[in-house]
Amino acid sequence: MHDTRNDLPARTRAKVIESLNARLADAIDLEAQAKHAHWNVKGPNFIALHELFDRVAESVEEHIDELAERITALGGTAYGTIAAAARASSLAPYPENIVEGLQHVNALAAALAQFGKKIRKGIDEAGKQGDADTADLYTGISRDADKYLWFLEAHLQSGR
């Protein structure tokens, strides 16, 4: 870790940095999955889904920056390369051969739900470590993940 005047104990910072880097890898993967869906979606709801998937990607991109900056503020190194994210992401691989709109909605909703669950676990872990700021960061990310999960799942909940 790098020297910092941050008053959180070094051990706490090390544990939180590890958690933040794990979520950073997941977020980079999730953004790429959303962009994959955005670029490759086909079907009668193309434009609505194309735009929705881009909004998901943009939201996640903002959180990538927040996660990385929190890591470095705590004295850590943010592992944000594509190669690092590919090695460390805990998200399930995105199905690369789908094109139909609802297939992408379902796949992206699954990834977002998995991401949200891990972010919520991070809220608890950061709280136990005494890092309210990281817990707050995770809480904001969780709210956005839940919002976009709702937007996606609304397409799957037609009542048919």
| Helix (H) or strand (E) segment spanning residue 86 | helix 82-88
pLDDT in tens, the chain (160 residues): 888 888 788 999 999 999 999 999 999 999 999 999 999 999 989 999 999 999 999 999 999 999 999 999 999 999 999 999 999 999 999 999 999 999 999 999 999 999 999 999 999 999 999 999 999 999 999 999 999 999 999 999 876 5
* Token digits of residue 141: 């990310």
Q: At the top level of CATH, which class does the domain 10-154 belong to?
A: mainly alpha
SS3 139: helix
